[in-house]
Structures are given as C-alpha cells and as structure tokens.
Amino acid sequence: MINTEIIANYAKSSAKELGINKYDIYGSSIDETSVEVDKGEPKQVQASNRSSVIVRVWNEKGTVGVTSTTDLDELGIKLALETAKEASSFGNTNNPPDFSPQAKESIENNGDEIVEAAPVPTLIDTLIEAETNLLKAHPAIQGVPYNGLSQEDIKRFYLNSEGSLRQEARSYAVIYLYSRTEEEGKKPRGASSMKISRGLETLDVDGCLKEVTEKTISHINYQTIPSGKYTIVFSPKAFLSLIGSFSNLFNAQNILDKQSLSDLESIGKEVASPLLSLCDDALHPDNIGAETFDGEGTPTRRIELIKDGILGGLLHSSGTAKRMNSQPTGNANIGAKVTVGSHFYHVFSNSEANPQYNLDEAENVIFIDQLQALHVGVNALQGSFSLPFDGWLVNKGKLTSIDAATVAGDYLTLLKSIVCVESEAEVTPGGVCPRVWVKDLSVTGE
C-alpha cells in the first residue's frame, strides 16, 4: 500500500530541486482479489494491485500543468512533477484551479477501516455455494451467467506544497449474482442482486441469494400490458439511477458550463414535489464507501440539495465555489480538468402531508425494479428519458411480471408528479432511498 509520508518527502525534495513552489498530488492504491465461477467450478481468479496518481504544478503565472503516473518511487514522482511543470506553460488561463481553502481543515472520524482479506479458496467456495443454491431454487433457472465475489483494500491520499496531508484506507467486499431462466415456449428471464460490506464475514450473501431468487421466480410467468398512463412505483435502486442520470440539476460545474437543467438563478426555486428531500451525504453511516475528503483535499459532508421540493444547494469544487461565491462541498475529482460528482444520495420526505401508499392495496400500478439502457435512453440536457425496465403490474399485492415495456417522460415533470415517498428506506450501494410513487407516467407496452 502507499506510504503517503514518503511520497510527500519525495515531492518536497524534488519540487525544491526543480524550482517548483506550488503543487499538489492526489492518488489511490487498490489491492483487489476477485473470483467468478461457472457451474460449480472456478471460472476466473484475479488478483491485482493498481495505483493512480494525479500531479498538478502551478507556474509563476498561475496556470496549471497536470500529469498522471503509476510510478510512486522517488524518480517517478520527480518525473511527474517535471512533466506537469512543463505542461503548465500550456495551462488554461480562464479560471485556473487553485488549492481548496479547506484542504488543511481537520477531519473528524478519519480512522482507517481495514479488514483482513479472506483466502481465495474461501471466496471460491462461498460463490460456488451461492450459485448452486440459486440453480436449485427453481427448475427454470438454468444458469448464473454473471457472478462475482471480490474484496479490495483502497488507500487514498492528498498532499500539497502548503502542508496539507490527508490519507485514509478502507476495505470492501462485494457479491453480484445474475440469474437466467430457460423454459420452452417462453422468453429467457433474469434478475440480479448485489451486496456490499466491509468484509466477507459481514457480507450478506444469503440476502443477495434470496433477493435474486425471489425476483427471478416472480419474472417467470409474465404478461404484456396495454400502453397508457400509469402510477409508477420506483424501487430505491431505480429512483437513484434516475437521480444520477440527471445529476446536472445540482452540479455547479454543469451549471457554469451551461450543461444543466438548472441555471445560476435556480437556487431557491421549486424543482420537485414538496414531498421530496434529497441530500448528498458522503459520511452517511450506511455508506460503506465513505470518503472523508475529495480530490482537492476538501473534507466531505452532508449537502442538502433539495429540501421539500426546493433546490437548496449545489455540489461544488473549490473552483466552482469561488466563481459562484460559495464554499467547496467536498465533491471535486481532479484530473486534466477538475470535475464535480456526487458521493452517496439520501432520499427522504420531511413533509407531514406525505401520504403513505401501500402496494398491498394499490390497483393497476407498475412497480419498476430496475431501469435499463440509461446510457442511451436519457437526454440529460433536455430532461427527457425513454427507458426499458424490469418490473411488475401490481393489483392488491399481486405482482405479475411485465413482458417488455418502456417508461418515458420529462424528468422535472416526474419530480413534481411525486405523490408519495415511503417512510421505510433501503440501503443500496448508491444511496439510501425508499420507494417513490409518481403519477401519470407514460408506459409503452404491447
């Protein structure tokens, strides 16, 4: 794993030798072991160690040169600094990046969370057992074509020439199962589930198996549905995928680049139903992938994006914050250009007027479990979407799998058409979210 203090010393001595007064370095190192199986036998076993480091150097004119390296010894750091210094002559003079004003602020709860890795045979045996049980669950389940069990240790660091030095290390274990059915006279059906935890011992393998089994069996007997307007119930995963697809709504960099559904005057305006509140909360206790600082060394925190339907905040880097007279939020990713991204969404409702609907009582509503083809079915700048989905037609608690259908609409209209944000939330890898009910969405069926 990376020794941040040694890298800092390499950088300091090399910068002095090269006449560099201002620089920063962000990097990460990943040790990963992963396995895949096929019909009770190991299909692939892979172990890797990957390092990635971004080096930025400012020249006397204030422009920045950027380079990347995977060589973390003294010579590698020196060459990266030298290359970035040369590149700084060609740096953009229009709003060049600078150090985050919060890069040296203290960070709370910055303890490493490293778990001892399980032996590879244990990973293989665990995944084979899960695959075997899934194949036994129903005669129609003929294969688990996509599966995987991995564990990794990630160390991240940030340092700069003004004395900022941050580092953290985390362990993760992830299991993924995707089933496939084969029955004569019927279309192949499938379902998937993924679980993440700190380590293999706490990984909910049984929960992953149960979820994918129940979904697969529920999809075996399917039917077509007529096209029309439906009340849609989005699963937590499906609703979060929509939020992620249209994240330009609250991304300050997108707004400045005029690549957003919002503009500079949007703060304080209603963008959703008063039932909806949304935060980006990197430090949420359920976020296994919590990061305590971003690529600029800014501490992460809970950012209130939408409160009771009102756009209340944006995600910022230090550069966007400076241009918009705000504060960095810990959402910067550094590279050839500093970009802004989310960490971990938290969807909920504060409204006392929020009704509580129940799938056991609902009639003729569609429950969407997973949206497909997000990379081609979303126009993030126009706000439109047209997406195939996996889901069920629900009538008083009875779920009937839908053969093939597409949901389409306008994202901002969808947000304002929310009629219920359920109280019970589910933890997913991308955030914490309950089921969300939306009225009058267009569905194309048979």
Is the model's pLDDT at 187 over the cut of 80? yes
In this predicted model, what pLDDT tens digit does every residue of 140-160 receive, in sequence order?
999 999 999 999 999 999 999
Amino acid at 232: I
Report the C-alpha gap between 91 and 93 in whole angstroms: 6
Name residues whose C-beta falls within 8 Å of residue 184's C-beta, 6 or more positions apart in sequence.
Answer: none
In this predicted model, what pLDDT tens digit does every residue of 51-77 receive, in sequence order?
999 999 999 999 999 999 999 899 999
Name residues whose C-beta falls within 8 Å of residue 33's C-beta, 6 or more positions apart in sequence.
Answer: 45, 46, 47, 117, 120, 123, 150, 151, 152
Q: DSSP secondary structure string, 5-20?
A: HHHHHHHHHHHHHHT-
Is the model's pLDDT at 2 over the cut of 90? no
Is the model's pLDDT at 32 over the cut of 70? yes
User: Taking each helix axis from N to C terminus, what angle separates 120-136 and 205-220, rounded to the nearest 10 degrees?
Assistant: 30
Is the model's pLDDT at 389 over the cut of 80? yes
- pLDDT-derived band at 110, boundaries 50, 70, 90: low
Mean pLDDT of 181-200: 95
Is the model's pLDDT at 26 over the cut of 90? yes
In this predicted model, what pLDDT tens digit does every residue of 82-104 receive, in sequence order?
999 999 999 988 999 999 999 99
- pLDDT-derived band at 357, boundaries 50, 70, 90: very high
What's the pLDDT score for residue 92?
A: 87
Strands (E), 287-417: 302-307, 310-311, 332-333, 339-340, 345-348, 363-371, 378-379, 384-395, 398-402, 406-410
What's the pLDDT score for residue 237?
A: 97
Is the model's pLDDT at 231 over the cut of 80? yes
Name residues whose C-beta falls within 8 Å of residue 303's C-beta, 6 or more positions apart in sequence.
Answer: 279, 280, 281, 313, 315, 329, 330, 331
Is the model's pLDDT at 111 over the cut of 80? no
Report the C-alpha gap between 30 and 255 in whole angstroms: 33
Write down the pTM of the prediction: 0.95
Mean pLDDT of 108-123: 88
What's the pLDDT score for residue 108?
A: 77
Running DSSP on this structure, what letter comes out for residue 201? G
What's the pLDDT score for residue 152?
A: 96
What's the pLDDT score for residue 1?
A: 58
What's the pLDDT score for residue 109?
A: 66
Mean pLDDT of 197-208: 97
Rounded to 5 degrees, what angle do the CA atoms 180, 136, 145 make? 30
Is the model's pLDDT at 242 over the cut of 70? yes
User: Taking each helix axis from N to C terminus, what angle separates 74-87 and 4-18, rounded to the nearest 10 degrees?
Assistant: 50
In this predicted model, what pLDDT tens digit does every residue of 265-304 receive, in sequence order?
999 999 999 999 999 999 999 999 899 999 999 999 999 9
CA distances to 180, 192, 218 from 134, in Å: 10, 11, 14
Report the C-alpha gap between 407 and 441 in whole angstroms: 7
In the predicted model, what is the mean pLDDT of the chain? 96
Question: Is the distance from CB of 152 to CB of 33 less than 8 angstroms?
Answer: yes
Rounded to 5 degrees, what angle do the CA atoms 321, 64, 68 make? 105
Report the C-alpha gap between 364 and 358 in whole angstroms: 13
